[in-house]
Amino acid sequence: MDKSDQFRFVSLLALELDNGDIALPSLPDVVMKIRRMLERDDCDFGRISQAVSIDPVLVSRLFVFANSAFYNRANVKIDTLDGAIGRLGFEVVRNAAMSLAMKQLYGSDKNDKSAKHLRAVWARGMKLSSMAFAIADTQPHLNSETAFLCGLMHEVGKLYILTKAEEFPEFLGNPQSLSLVLEEWNPQVSKCIIESWGFPDEVVESTDPETYQNHDIDTPTSLVDVIRVAKMLLDSNEQKLQVLFENDLSCQKLAMSDNSMSRVMDAYRAKLQTMQQSLA
């Protein structure tokens, strides 16, 4: 592929961003209903249960979640929808619905070349969301389920970019050029998509590198720090992590250390295994 093909693709992407034309297929109605309900002060069990009950695939997944080792510590089997929702809680139900919807989006492609990349991005999203959950769970003031959602959505821009790249077969077939564009443009595209889907500001901010640049030691620890550290843990070897723990601002704010790593990694592996098995 010559440089002109990459330039044409990037130019199209930039134009769509400028015009606000970045959009993925709408999320399923049940996901949007649950999200809107959770934003209301009068959110109640009955409404959530009614919204979930119309989607048999989601219902079946919730039973798997509720009876998994991660959520069923007492080994008491749940066999009713109300019981499953009661055990999991509203936010876990929302994230289960969102995870199922995202898996369907990543798996809907029929182009063999892009399908391989989409599977890799989806696998990365599962790891990042599970790691974000595990890190946030060590922080009493942070919501681990919201951290999971941030991780799940962090690279949704790559889904859009890969979908658009199908119109440029030579670009899609060039791993080096594709990787560069995915990494450079993912934050902007992800932010645009998450905003269009109406998720909270803290989820939007967690995708934006500029948010971190405005942080200092006095800035309260946030999900921006969690996502940053989650990516480091997934991408760095043990020797490099030791340097990061001592020098990186987000690591310092989250009190990351060799001592905390054991707990985080145990929680990460347990959460990831549950997600993979429950969505299989």
Q: In this model, does residue 110 exceed pLDDT 60?
A: no
Tokens representing 253? 């704010």
Query: Cα dist. 8→15, 92, 174 in Å?
Result: 11, 41, 15
- pTM, entire model: 0.89
7, part of any domain = no
Query: Cα dist. 76→24, 93, 159, 257 in Å?
Result: 40, 19, 38, 36
Domains in the chain: how many in total?
2
Check whether residue 76 and residue 157 sit in a common domain: no
Check whether residue 81 and residue 147 sit in a common domain: no
User: Which H or E run contains 274?
Assistant: helix 258-279
SS3 content of the chain, % helix, strand, coil (to 5): 70, 0, 30
CATH of the domain at 241: 1.10.3210.10
Q: What is the pLDDT of residues 187-240, one digit of tens each?
A: 999 998 898 888 888 899 888 777 766 666 677 888 999 999 999 999 887 777
Residue 242's nearest CA partner among 223, 261, 263, 226 is 261
Check whether residue 102 and residue 133 sit in a common domain: no
208, part of any domain = yes
Check whether residue 146 and residue 264 sit in a common domain: yes
Check whether residue 140 and residue 232 sit in a common domain: yes
Check whether residue 102 and residue 135 sit in a common domain: no
Domain end, chosen from 106, 137, 158, is at: 106
Most confident range (mean pLDDT) of 15-19, 234-238, 262-266 is: 262-266
Check whether residue 264 and residue 162 sit in a common domain: yes
123, part of any domain = no
Per DSSP, 138 falls in state T
pLDDT value of position 126: 96
Check whether residue 133 and residue 93 sit in a common domain: no
111, part of any domain = no
Per DSSP, 68 falls in state S
Instruction: Give the residue numbers spanning the domain of 211.
Output: 129-280
Check whether residue 99 and residue 138 sit in a common domain: no
20, part of any domain = no
Q: What is the pLDDT of residues 150-185, one digit of tens each?
A: 999 999 999 999 988 888 888 888 888 889 999 999
